[in-house]
Each structure stands twice: as structure tokens, then as C-alpha cells.
Amino acid sequence: MRIDGVLHGELIHADGTVEKVERHNMIVDGGFDFICDVIGNSTQPGAMGYIGVGTGTTAASASQTALGTELSRNAATYAHTAGTKVFTLSADFDEGDATGAITEAAVFNAATNGIMLDRVVFDVINKGANDKFKATFEFTLS
């Protein structure tokens, strides 16, 4: 089985202009352990239901368990159409939330700490206090 993850980020500035980022992410070791536990362990971990963003710039590596410098973590919405091999997790970071030079994002199974599924680092997105950022992680299984 292969899992391909892509972050689709959209920054909507207060003046209505839009910046987009699209970047493949890395499933980390803890994320693979999570997937194995969901498939085979009778004791299930909490669902991946949060997206965090931050300002860390260290390249993603398999051993990481957290964002480099987390700014904010919000509840994510899960979506999947039965019969397809794609699911998404998306979260909004509204005005006043996650303000700063966003350069990283990840999916987690808890509002704080928890298990990190994946991590992605990208070119800076400068989110002002009046801007909105939407992060959507799209995962395709094959």
C-alpha cells in the first residue's frame, strides 16, 4: 500500500488577494505506527482530527514527532467518499489565529501533543492578523 499526501494551503488576505501553496508531505515514523495500530490493534488511538501550523524551517524527517515551532492547532474536518481511495482533513485558521510567517504544517490526533501523522515544510506564507489560512491535507491510497 502506498499513501501519497499533499498539503493544499490557501491564504486569503484581508484585501481579497489569494496565495496558494501545494506541497507533498512526509508520513513520519509515528504516523506509520498509528496506521498500523488503526488496522490491527484492538485498542484504537484517537482519530487524526487536528491540523497544526508553525514557523519551523527544519526539513521534514521520519523521526520527528512535533512541528518545529507551532503557532496554532485547530480541529480538522474529515471527508471521504465511499468507494474512492482519497480522503482529506482540512482546518481553517481565521483572523487573529496563527498570525506570522507560516512555513510548516502537520496532522495530529490530539489538540495538544498527541501523535503526528505527517509533516510538510514550505516557502513562507506571511499571514497577517486580518488574513485567513485554510490547510487541506489530501491523502491518496494506492
Give the model's pLDDT for residue 1: 82
pLDDT digits 0-9 by tens, 81-118: 999 999 999 999 999 999 999 999 999 999 999 999 99
pTM greater than 0.95 (yes/no): yes
Closest by alpha carbon to 108, among 43, 37, 53, 40?
Answer: 53
Give the model's pLDDT for residue 86: 98
Give the model's pLDDT for residue 133: 98
Closest by alpha carbon to 56, among 101, 8, 113?
Answer: 101
Give me the half-sphere count of Cα atoms (radius 13 Å) on the Cβ side of residue 78. 9
Burial of 42 (0-12, 13-18, 19+ CB in 10 A): exposed
Domain ranges of the chain: 3-141
Q: Which of the residues in the chain have pLDDT under 70?
A: none
The one-letter amino acid code at 138 reads E
Residues 6+ positions from 119 with CB-CB distance below 8 Å: 25, 26, 28, 60, 64, 67, 104, 105, 106
